[in-house]
Amino acid sequence: MRKFMTLAVACILALAIAPSAQQPDALKAAVDTLNAAKINTLQYSGSGANFSVGQNFTPNEPWPRVTVKSYTASINYGTGSMRQELVREMGTVMPRGGGGPFTGEQRQNLVVRGSDAWNVPAAPPGAAAAPAPAAAAERMLALWATPQGFVKAAMANNATTKKTKDGTEVSFTVGGKYKMTGILNAQNQVARVQTWIDQPIVGDMLVETVYSGYKDFGVSFPSHIVQSQDGFPSLDLTITSVTVNPAVDITVPDNVRGAQPPAVRVESTKMADGVYYLTGGTHHSLVVEMKDHIVLVDTPNDAARALAVIAKTKEVVPNKPIRYVVTSHHHWDHLGGIRSAIDEGATIVTHQTNKAFLERVAKTPHTLNPDRLSTSKKAVKIQTVGDMGKLTDGARTIELYNLTGYEHTRDMLIVYLPKEKILAEPDAFTPPATPTTPLVITAVPYAAALYDNIQRRKLDVQTIAPFHGGRTSNVGELARAAGKTATVSQ
């Protein structure tokens, strides 16, 4: 289970932050410029874009952009709480790359107080809050990364300062764990804040926020905010209004207080002799038994899920090593447990465009939340696939095909077992709850791409095992979802 900070800093910062002789002059000047000592609550609004982190089309491209029609952040520095309300907007075509599909408007209400984080559903009215403990650290650090929040946190956490070519660098640690470093410019404004959060794949991930275009909104505040995660923009806002000391009263719902991620559950269904479908969460995996080893397809989500999947794999196929782990593609939700697979000693089978990224992932520092690979330091073993590839033991063959004409990702490998006529795939087609449930319009192009690839490859598919959703499917249903007429086995 991932670790979460307790953030005693929230209580510390509830105290008055009157400047003292021990505090650096540059920091005291920033407090005065930003009026931080007199600001207990703050609300700012604007519009722009946010980006689907971990879902780029190739590992080297920026995160896919989504328009943010409106954005409002409401902060109470005294209680260490923040609410972010967004209205995102999408046409009928998703940007190239991943991210949760939607059309029209999507409302998000993301909240944190101390070590508790939750999401407020847009519908139905009065729906219970959804605990989001994994988001607590990121949201809390975003609160203290705001200009006024940063200088408050610096004052309360014995910040050190030094002169640099860009201005005065201010550094401190919050929660006893999370380092924050910022730059104060010549105008005593916060120009940039850097912090690091744990990410299961890339480890201690840099989150950098750049502030520019400060204006007098009744308080000095930036008119442009750009945040980046792992080197690519994740939020880009133009601020149009700021309110000082509004009423911001954020109470933690009873079902959220102290909530932890749900226990990892992995269930196994035998699809054929030596073929097992591992479900029980939001993301699924496939196990294929070979003569003297095992091939596992996808170790998703994070280390906890991956380790549970690996344990279940050894349970359903005992006394054989996991020699190969096929990673379907580089998107972070499906690649989240890859370091556990590397630590297992398995050879990672991936599309050739993903090789350099996996080599980087195997070496990323994980000091905030060390995993097993941090200790074992095993070298990654990679076997790449181009347009197609095979894994075989002479009796059973696993065919791997790169999904072409597919705007979700460049490196998608679908897995086909010709003897069993089973095809395993993530993301291209997730069957709805029942065969008669309408498919969302954004899913149709992906279904069409999968169907066209099956046709072009002349694959005799009888069963489709999707890596999302609650059931398997077939080519007939896939064809209907794609608006086509099936011409292969249904």
CB proximity list for 436: less than 8 A, separation 6 or greater? none
Structure tokens at 252: 């933690």
At position 468, the amino acid (one-letter code) is: H
Contact 316, 419 (CB under 8 A): no
Between the alpha carbon of residue 483 and those of residues 17, 471, 473, 478, 488, the distances in Å are 63, 21, 16, 9, 15
CA 236 to chain centre: 17
pLDDT of residue 442: 63
pLDDT of residue 444: 81
Give φ, ψ of 433 to 5 degrees. Answer: -55, -40
- Taking the C-alpha atoms of residue 337 and residue 333, their distance in angstroms, rounded to an integer, is 9
By CB neighbour count within 10 A (0-12 exposed, 13-18 middle, 19+ buried), where does 278 fall? Answer: buried
Helices (H) and strands (E) in the chain, counts: 11, 25
Domain ranges of the chain: 9-244, 267-481
Query: Does the domain spanning 267-481 belong to CATH 3.20.20.70?
Result: no
**Which CATH number fits the domain 9-244, given the four candidates 3.40.50.2300, 2.50.20.10, 1.10.287.3510, 3.20.20.70?**
2.50.20.10
Residue 105 β-bridge partners: 89
- Taking the C-alpha atoms of residue 353 and residue 349, their distance in angstroms, rounded to an integer, is 12
pLDDT of residue 17: 43
pLDDT of residue 432: 87
Kindly provide the b/e burial profile for residues 150-183, where b requires at least 16 CB atoms within 10 angstroms of the residue's own CB. bbbbbbbbebebeeeeebbbbebebbebbebbbb
Reading phi first (left if > 0) and then psi (alpha if -120 to 50, else beta), residue 104 is in left
pLDDT of residue 16: 37
Task: Give the Cα-Cα-Cα angle 80, 86, 89 (nearest 5 degrees).
Answer: 160
Strands (E), 93-155: 104-113, 116-119, 130-131
Secondary structure (3-state) at 206: strand
At position 110, the amino acid (one-letter code) is: L
Q: Compute the CA torsion angle 132, 137, 142, 143 (nearest 10 deg).
A: 90
Q: What is the DSSP secondary-structure string of 428-454?
A: S----SSTTSPPPGGGHHHHHHHHHHH
Residue 199 β-bridge partners: 203
The 8-class DSSP code of residue 13 comes to T
Respond yes or no on whether the N-terminal peptide bond of residue 365 is cis (omega within 30° of 0): no
Sign of CA dihedral 349, 350, 353, 355: negative
CB proximity list for 186: less than 8 A, separation 6 or greater? 167
Give φ, ψ of 61 to 5 degrees. Answer: -95, 155
Give the strands of the sheet with 267-272, arranged side by side. 267-272, 275-279, 285-289, 294-297, 322-326, 347-351, 381-385
pLDDT of residue 19: 43
pLDDT in tens, the chain (490 residues): 344 444 444 444 443 344 444 567 899 999 999 999 999 999 999 999 999 999 999 999 999 999 999 999 999 999 999 999 999 999 888 899 999 888 999 999 999 999 999 999 988 888 999 999 999 999 999 999 999 999 999 999 999 999 999 999 999 999 889 999 999 999 999 999 999 999 999 999 999 999 999 999 999 999 999 999 999 999 999 999 999 999 999 999 999 999 998 999 999 999 999 999 999 999 999 999 999 999 999 999 999 999 999 999 999 999 999 999 999 999 999 999 999 999 999 999 999 999 999 999 999 999 999 999 999 999 999 999 999 999 999 999 999 999 999 999 999 999 999 999 999 999 999 998 887 777 766 668 899 999 999 999 999 999 999 999 999 999 999 999 998 876 644 4
Using alpha carbons, select from 158, 156, 196 the residue that is nearest to residue 5.
196
Give φ, ψ of 85 to 5 degrees. Answer: -115, 120
pLDDT of residue 22: 54
Structure tokens at 278: 């591992």
pLDDT of residue 294: 98
Contact 143, 180 (CB under 8 A): no
CB proximity list for 478: less than 8 A, separation 6 or greater? 429, 447, 450, 451, 454, 464, 486
- Taking the C-alpha atoms of residue 213 and residue 305, their distance in angstroms, rounded to an integer, is 43
Kindly provide the b/e burial profile for residues 35-65, where b requires at least 16 CB atoms within 10 angstroms of the residue's own CB. ebbebbbbbbbbbbbbbbbbbbbebeeebbb
Contact 179, 218 (CB under 8 A): no
CB proximity list for 191: less than 8 A, separation 6 or greater? 166, 167, 182, 183, 184, 185, 210, 211, 212
Secondary structure (3-state) at 377: coil
